[in-house]
Amino acid sequence: MSTETAQLTPVSDPVTRRRVGFVSLVLAITAVSALPGVLLWPSPAGGGETYTYADIQPLRDRWWMLLVFLCANLVLNVPAQALATVLLVRRRGAAWATAGGAVMWFGTALYAVGVAGWAATYYFATSPGVGQAAGSAVMDATADDLLHLFGAMLTGSLMVAVGTVIQAVGLWRSHAVPRWIPLLWLTIIASFTIPGNGVAGLLTAVPMTAASIGTAYYAWRSAGRA
């Protein structure tokens, strides 16, 4: 389906064009760079969402570095996605894009705080200086307090998902991009039911990466129209 890009406000200012290009580049790069993390993410030996001392201790350094990288990557990716969409949707659907972007930004902040706490808790609990008995006790205690362990992270994740859906509505209504882009963004809903790691995690990660690249391309193209 053709897109009605003529509705977009032309951007002839070279400084603005470079800024939009930078946001688009950040969106595309961070989307692609997150894919390896899906495959590297370890699964709990006992299933579920919580990990035991034995799960984390042998790979504590990889665990910490992976979480720090993915969290920093998300902090760059989601705001770039929100901003690129706002730049694309300038008329019809603009209110949806703006509202969704705001929800996504607040959600990103909560998610980052939650992941940082999760990474630090497991990393220090599995330190050789702490000892297995004490470390296991800390891990067990955190598993019994899911509100404080996952509360901020899950709330932030839900807000990012809701904001993405709202922006997808704005993209659909705007006709600023092909229909496949907002449809692919909706696959974020499935990420709450499909495991986020391993090959299964790619079922949602790959479509959203494609949506990121598509959004980035059309945002960059719209900025180049004089």
**Six token digits for residue 80:** 């770039």
Average pLDDT over residues 139-153: 88
Give the chain's largest Cα–Cα span: 66
Query: Over 50: is that where the pLDDT of 5 sits?
Result: no
Query: Over 80: is that where the pLDDT of 144 sits?
Result: yes
Q: Give the integer Cα–Cα distance in Å for 199 and 182.
A: 23
The helix/strand/coil state of 125 is helix
Indicate the average pLDDT of the chain.
88
Q: Would residue 131 be called left, alpha or beta, if left means φ above 0 and alpha means ψ between -120 and 50 degrees?
A: left
**Six token digits for residue 10:** 């032309």
Q: Give the integer Cα–Cα distance in Å for 118 and 104.
A: 21
- When pLDDT is cut at 50, 70 and 90, the band that residue 102 belongs to is very high
Other beta carbons within 10 Å of 132? 12
Q: Give the integer Cα–Cα distance in Å for 202 and 20.
A: 28
pLDDT at position 8, please? 46
Closest CA to 42 of 193, 195, 197, 192: 197
Q: What is the radius of gyration, based on Cα positions, of the chain?
A: 20
Q: What is the pTM of this model?
A: 0.86
pLDDT at position 4, please? 46
Q: Mark out the alpha helices in the chain (DSSP H runs).
A: 14-33, 35-40, 53-56, 60-88, 94-125, 132-143, 146-174, 180-185, 198-223
Q: Give the integer Cα–Cα distance in Å for 171 and 96.
A: 8
Per residue in 51-91, pLDDT (tens digit) is: 888 888 898 899 899 999 999 999 999 999 999 999 999 88
